[in-house]
Every structure is written in structure tokens, then in C-alpha cells.
């Protein structure tokens, strides 16, 4: 009885996550300690306080944050590359996927560098 | 949309609920009895007596009186329909529907907050606890409703139906000949010309019988003879067989003589004066033992020419032959060797076949095992050497008999 219930539940989804949560989720994955991918440091110019820095630069620390450029759809496409290994927060992204995202998503890189789009 | 999805599911589920049908028949007590009488065409019986040479057949026609007793009762045909799945389906359906109700109700008491720990690739949170509980509720209701439907339909279709019909069963039947009356009408002996009987009695002279009586019919119905009459008929037929197979004793082999003696012993039951014939046979057998008989067994030959040389036929039976006039009175030439030429018109039945010599047909005896027997086929033109014998009566037809000693294809 529980297994079918879980399967049916897994088929369902919850409410859309706010843009701020989406943004923070990606930053958390990029800055995941202790094995942060080397491309993040180089391309996003961050140090040990990677997560705080990126949250500040992007403005995602503000609960009222909304995507403009890149928009939500573009952000989700780029995030999908990073979560190929799994959507659980405990799952660390593959550095190959991170590098690909940084290469293919200049809008995301620009936002995370704090530059105005 | 949901109805469109559930409809086929329910139909399939109900179709899987196989109903077992048992039909049994129950008969009730006897309600009443009644009798029914009928009269039908009955047997024709005869009594045969012989006051040699007078043969009397006294015949009576009967009706068949039938008395039948019928019992009337009701017969119920009970058809029982049941399904082994009814109980299990109902219990599973009720349990699952109840469980789904509990799940839906309890879902109201749990958190509707989405699982914020997870965001999928579409950017949505994970389902809430309420969604999980309600999902389980949908699953249980998805199982419970079809099971309940199957159970309810099976229960509705189960049950028994009774079809009653009134039966009339034959309980007893008595049938016996009745209304005896002297037989009046044509009686047919051995499928020959009918003899008109006016007072139920058929009178014959034993000497007029050319063949044993093996069939007596009245309008196609066999006239039944009682046991005593059958014994008398057997004796009479023995006398007839003896009389119609007569030949010179000196030309008959020992087996034939003993067989003819047996016929006389049976014949004696209806004809007292057979001692002369029995003595003659006994004398002939004694003469053979003492070497005084003129009997000679037929010598064996190995060719047509040898047969001509050994038997030296005195007459020729062929189309245009002057001797042919003697053939119709062959008893006078019985025992003589003859040459014959003719066409086979009747295939061999046992040892006997039929040969046509011009307008005259003769029986030809062709012994089994002879190498020239194969020449005797329908339409074959044959010539042969034979010993003439007394005429033979078969199926009411009297024809000369020739015992072939050799034959071959010719002309």
C-alpha cells in the first residue's frame, strides 16, 4: 500500500519554487564544499566565501529576487545541466557538468559575477 | 475524462469475473398415474404339422394389445450460478474503498506544504505530505472500486433459477397378442408365388416342394412358428433336401452318403417310411468296404487332352450340337462324361457358377484349388470336360449340373 502511494506521490509535484530559491539552489551546488570545482573559482572569481559572495553579487539573498536576464526558463535550462547527477541537495554536481554550464550559460555567469546584464 | 478511463477498466474487471453455472434436475413426487391402452398390428403365428405327405400350416393373425401406465410428476431444472471471486472481490473492494476514505480524510490533517528540500528540473518543489497521502488514497480507491464492482455484479448475477415442466413417465408397459383370428390372405413361401389362404390353413404336399422352406411371409411379415413347429419344419426340410439331391448312390462319395443318411434320420420325425433309403445307403457303404461297389472316385488329370483321354466324353454340349437336346433331361445322362462349350454368365459362388450354352443355362461345379479355376470369370468363353450330374435346384431354379474335371479358355 505504501509503495504505490509513494509512486503516485512521486508522480506529483509541489508548487513552483520562487526565483530566489532557484537562484540560491544553483549557487549552493556551485559552491558545494569541500570539492568545489576549479572552474567556479576561475570563472566566477570567488574564494572560500563562495556562496555568500555569489548570493550578494546576484541579489538572490533577497527573498523578493526575480529573474530578468537570464529569465527563469533560461536559468532552469542551465540548472538542468548541473543537476544531471541528481536533484537532491546532498548530491554534488559533476565538474564536467559545471564546466559545461559555465561555458554554455554566459547570462548566468554574468549574473553571478555581479555585472549588470 | 476519468469516466472514459474507468469505464473500460470496469468492463474488463467485470468480464474477468467468471460465473460457474451448475444445472441439476430434480423430480418431485408422483402427482397422479393414468393408463393408456392401444391396439397395434400384432404378430402372425403359425403351427406346422406334417401327416406325410400332407403338410399343414395353421396360421393366426393377432393384434398387439398394449397397456401402458404413466406417472405424472413435476421436473425442476435448477440452474445455479455462482462465482468463487464474489467474496474475495467484495471484501477487497470494501476494504480498499474504506482505506481510501480514511486516507483522504487523514490527508486533511497533514501538511500541505511542498517539500522545499527538493526542486526538480522544472523548478517545482517536491510534493507535500498531503499529496502523498491523497496519492495513496487514489491508488487504494483505484483498486477498491473495480474490486467492489466485480463483487457486486457477481453477487447480483449469482443465484439460482428454476424451470418447471410436467412429465409423463412410462412406468409400466404390458404388451400381448390379442384378438386372434384365422389368417386370410396371400402367404409367400420362399419368396415364390403367393398362395391365397382363406381359412387360416395352408395345405401342401411334401412331394411338391422343390426346396426346403426357409421363409414364410404374410404381407412381408415373417410368420412366427412355435418351437414344436420349428422342429417339425427342420425334419420336413431334411426330407426335402434328401429328395431334391437324389443321385445314384454308387456315384456319391462316402461323406455325401453319410450326410444323406443324417438327412434321413432327421426326416424320420415326419416320414416313417425311410428305412428303405437308409438300408440302401448302409448297403452301399458295406459294399464299398467289401470292394463290391462300382463307385470310383474321379481320377485326377493334368491337362485338357489327358481329361479327354481318361474320361472319353460321349456327348458334346455346345451351340449347334445335336447332343444339346439331352441337356435339359440331364438326369437321364447323369454320370456320363461330356465336353461342353459355353459363356460364363454367373460368377462362382463357392464352387458353383453358371454357364450359358446357347439358350440353356447350366450350373458348373468348379472345385476349389484346381489350377484352371481362375479361367472361370464373367464373360469368359470356356470349353471343358465334365461329369454330368442330376439337376440342381437353387433359389427355385432347376438347372443341369456339370462337375468340371478340366476347363480352359476357348473359341
Distance, in Å, from the CA atom of B104 to the CA atom of B313, rounded to the nearest integer, reads: 125
- Is the CB of A17 less than 8 angstroms away from the CB of B125? yes
pLDDT band with cut points at 50, 70 and 90 for residue A5: very low
The bridge status of strand B360-365 relative to strand B397-409 is parallel
Average confidence (pLDDT) over A28-34:
84
Q: Does the pLDDT value for residue B105 go beyond 90?
A: yes
Helix axes B254-267, B275-289, angle to 10 degrees: 160
pLDDT band with cut points at 50, 70 and 90 for residue B369: confident
By Cβ distance, the residue of A5, A12, A16 closest to B139 is: A5
Distance, in Å, from the CA atom of B263 to the CA atom of B243, rounded to the nearest integer, reads: 10
pLDDT band with cut points at 50, 70 and 90 for residue B87: confident
| Chain B residues closer than 8 Å to A81 by CB | none
Average confidence (pLDDT) over B365-383:
89
Nearest chain B residue to A79 by CA distance is B121
By Cβ distance, the residue of A6, A11, A14 closest to B125 is: A14
Nearest chain A residue to B128 by CA distance is A14
Tally of domains in chain A: 1
Higher per-residue confidence, B250 vs A72: A72
Give the number of other CB atoms < 10 A from CB of residue B322: 8
B-interface mutation test, from A6, A7, A8, most B Cβ less than 10 A away: A8
By Cβ distance, the residue of A8, A15, A80 closest to B136 is: A8
- Is the CB of A79 less than 8 angstroms away from the CB of B121? yes
Share of chain B above pLDDT 90, in %: 41
- Is the CB of A25 less than 8 angstroms away from the CB of B115? no
Phi, psi of A95 (to 5 degrees): -65, -30
State yes or no: cis peptide before B229, omega within 30 of 0. Answer: no
- Residue B296: the pLDDT is 63
pLDDT band with cut points at 50, 70 and 90 for residue B18: confident
| Chain B residues closer than 8 Å to A79 by CB | 121, 123
pLDDT band with cut points at 50, 70 and 90 for residue A115: low
Nearest chain B residue to A87 by CA distance is B120
| Chain A residues closer than 8 Å to B138 by CB | 8
Q: What three-state secondary structure class fits B240?
A: helix
Task: Find the chain A residues whose C-beta atoms sit closer than 8 A to any C-beta of B.
Answer: 1-2, 4-17, 21-22, 25, 72, 76, 79-80, 83, 87-89
pLDDT band with cut points at 50, 70 and 90 for residue A56: very high
Average confidence (pLDDT) over B154-182:
91
- Is the CB of B121 less than 8 angstroms away from the CB of A87? yes
pLDDT digits (tens, 9 = 90+) for B22-69: 999 999 999 999 999 999 988 899 999 999 889 999 999 999 999 999
- Residue A117: the pLDDT is 46
With respect to residue A2, please indicate whether it lies within any of the assigned structural domains.
no
Residue B382, all three cell numbers: 470356356
Nearest chain B residue to A22 by CA distance is B123
Q: Does the pLDDT value for residue B169 go beyond 50?
A: yes
Residues 6+ apart with CB under 8 A from B153: B14, B17
The model carries a pTM of: 0.42
- Residue B293: the pLDDT is 65
- Is the CB of B120 less than 8 angstroms away from the CB of A13? yes
Residue B179, phi-psi category: left (phi > 0), alpha (psi -120 to 50), beta (remainder): left
pLDDT band with cut points at 50, 70 and 90 for residue B12: low
Residue A9, all three cell numbers: 506521490
| Chain A residues closer than 8 Å to B135 by CB | 5-9, 11-12
- Residue A1: the pLDDT is 44
With respect to residue A36, please indicate whether it lies within any of the assigned structural domains.
yes
B-interface mutation test, from A2, A14, A85, most B Cβ less than 10 A away: A14
With respect to residue A82, please indicate whether it lies within any of the assigned structural domains.
yes
pLDDT band with cut points at 50, 70 and 90 for residue A2: very low
Q: Does the pLDDT value for residue B242 go beyond 70?
A: yes
- Is the CB of A21 less than 8 angstroms away from the CB of B126? no
Higher per-residue confidence, B192 vs B273: B273
Q: Does the pLDDT value for residue B232 go beyond 70?
A: yes
pLDDT digits (tens, 9 = 90+) for B134-148: 999 999 999 999 999
User: Terminus-to-terminus CA distance in chain B, angstroms?
Assistant: 102
Q: Does the pLDDT value for residue A70 go beyond 60?
A: yes
B172 near B69, Cβ under 8 Å? yes
ipTM of the complex in this document? 0.83
Q: Does the pLDDT value for residue A72 go beyond 50?
A: yes
Share of chain A above pLDDT 90, in %: 57
Q: How far is B109 from chain A (nearest CA, A)?
A: 17
| Chain A residues closer than 8 Å to B124 by CB | 13-17
Higher per-residue confidence, A73 vs A38: A73
pLDDT digits (tens, 9 = 90+) for B291-323: 766 666 677 788 999 989 888 888 899 998 888
- Residue B164: the pLDDT is 94
Structural domain of residue A74, as residue ranges? 17-112
B62 near B178, Cβ under 8 Å? yes
- Is the CB of B119 less than 8 angstroms away from the CB of A87? yes
Q: Which residues of B3-37 are buried (b: 16+ CB within 10 A; e: fewer)?
A: eeeeeeeeeebbeebeeeeeeeeeeeeeeeeeeee
Nearest chain A residue to B140 by CA distance is A1
With respect to residue A10, please indicate whether it lies within any of the assigned structural domains.
no
A-interface mutation test, from B111, B113, B119, B140, most A Cβ less than 10 A away: B119
Phi, psi of B125 (to 5 degrees): -70, 165
- Top mean-pLDDT range of A88-97, B29-38, B188-197: B29-38
With respect to residue A69, please indicate whether it lies within any of the assigned structural domains.
yes
- Is the CB of A5 less than 8 angstroms away from the CB of B123? no
What is the residue-averaged pLDDT of chain B? Answer: 86
Nearest chain B residue to A82 by CA distance is B121
- Is the CB of B122 less than 8 angstroms away from the CB of A76? yes
pLDDT digits (tens, 9 = 90+) for B208-226: 887 788 888 888 888 999 9
Q: Does the pLDDT value for residue B251 go beyond 50?
A: yes
B65 near B39, Cβ under 8 Å? yes
- Is the CB of B123 less than 8 angstroms away from the CB of A72? yes
Nearest chain A residue to B133 by CA distance is A5
Out of B143-152, B227-236, B239-248, least confident range = B239-248
- Residue A78: the pLDDT is 95
Amino acid at each position: 500500500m505504501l509503495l504505490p502511494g509513494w509512486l503516485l506521490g512521486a508522480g506529483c509535484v509541489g508548487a513552483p519554487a520562487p526565483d530566489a530559491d532557484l537562484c540560491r539552489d544553483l549557487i549552493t551546488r556551485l559552491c558545494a564544499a569541500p570539492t568545489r570545482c576549479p572552474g567556479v573559482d576561475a570563472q566566477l572569481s570567488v574564494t572560500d566565501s563562495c556562496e555568500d559572495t555569489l548570493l550578494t553579487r546576484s541579489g538572490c539573498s533577497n527573498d523578493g529576487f526575480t529573474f530578468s536576464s537570464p529569465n527563469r526558463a533560461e536559468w532552469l535550462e542551465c540548472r538542468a545541466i548541473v543537476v544531471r547527477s541528481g536533484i537532491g541537495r546532498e548530491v554534488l554536481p559533476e565538474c564536467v557538468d559545471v564546466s559545461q554550464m559555465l561555458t554554455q550559460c554566459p547570462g548566468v555567469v554574468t549574473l553571478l559575477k555581479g555585472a549588470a546584464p | 475524462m476519468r469516466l472514459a478511463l474507468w469505464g473500460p477498466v470496469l468492463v474488463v474487471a467485470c468480464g474477468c469475473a467468471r460465473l460457474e453455472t451448475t444445472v441439476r434436475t430434480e423430480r418431485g413426487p408422483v402427482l397422479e398415474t393414468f393408463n393408456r391402452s392401444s391396439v397395434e398390428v400384432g404378430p402372425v403365428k403359425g403351427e406346422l404339422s406334417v401327416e406325410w405327405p400332407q403338410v399343414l400350416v395353421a396360421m393366426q393373425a393377432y393384434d398387439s394389445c398394449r397397456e401402458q401406465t404413466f406417472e405424472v410428476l413435476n421436473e425442476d431444472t435448477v440452474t445455479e450460478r455462482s462465482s468463487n471471486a464474489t467474496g474475495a472481490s467484495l471484501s477487497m473492494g470494501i476494504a480498499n474503498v474504506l482505506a481510501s476514505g480514511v486516507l483522504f480524510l487523514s490527508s486533511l490533517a497533514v501538511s500541505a506544504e511542498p517539500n522545499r528540500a527538493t526542486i526538480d528540473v522544472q523548478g517545482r518543489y517536491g510534493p507535500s505530505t498531503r499529496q502523498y497521502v491523497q496519492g495513496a488514497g487514489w491508488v487504494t480507491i483505484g483498486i477498491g472500486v473495480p474490486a467492489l464492482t466485480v463483487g457486486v455484479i457477481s453477487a447480483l448475477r449469482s443465484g439460482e433459477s428454476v424451470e418447471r415442466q410436467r412429465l409423463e413417465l412410462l412406468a409400466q408397459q404390458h404388451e400381448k397378442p390379442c384378438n386372434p383370428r384365422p389368417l386370410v390372405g396371400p402367404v409367400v413361401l420362399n419368396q415364390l408365388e403367393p398362395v391365397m389362404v382363406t381359412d387360416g390353413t395352408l395345405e401342401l404336399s411334401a412331394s411338391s416342394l422343390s426346396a426346403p422352406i426357409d421363409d414364410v411371409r404374410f404381407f412381408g411379415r415373417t410368420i412366427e412358428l412355435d418351437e414344436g413347429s420349428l422342429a417339425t419344419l427342420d425334419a420336413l426340410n431334411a426330407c426335402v433336401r434328401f429328395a431334391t439331391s437324389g443321385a445314384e448312390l454308387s456315384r456319391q462319395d462316402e461323406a455325401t452318403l453319410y450326410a444323406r443318411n443324417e438327412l434321413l434320420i432327421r426326416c424320420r420325425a415326419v416320414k416313417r417310411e425311410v428305412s428303405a433309403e437308409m438300408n440302401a445307403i448302409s448297403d452301399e457303404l458295406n459294399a464299398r468296404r467289401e470292394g463290391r461297389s462300382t463307385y470310383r472316385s474321379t481320377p485326377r488329370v493334368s491337362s485338357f487332352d489327358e481329361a479327354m483321354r481318361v474320361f472319353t466324353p460321349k456327348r458334346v454340349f455346345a451351340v449347334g450340337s445335336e447332343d444339346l437336346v439331352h441337356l435339359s433331361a440331364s438326369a437321364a445322362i447323369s454320370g456320363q462324361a461330356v465336353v461342353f462349350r459355353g459363356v460364363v454368365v454367373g460368377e462362382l459362388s463357392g464352387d458353383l457358377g453358371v454357364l450359358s450354352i446357347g439358350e440353356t443355362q447350366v450350373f458348373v461345379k468348379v472345385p476349389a484349388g484346381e489350377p484352371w479355376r481362375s479361367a472361370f470369370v464373367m464373360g469368359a468363353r470356356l470349353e471343358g470336360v465334365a461329369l454330368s450330374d442330376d439337376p440342381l435346384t437353387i433359389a427355385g431354379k432347376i438347372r443341369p449340373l456339370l462337375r468340371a474335371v478340366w476347363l480352359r479358355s476357348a473359341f
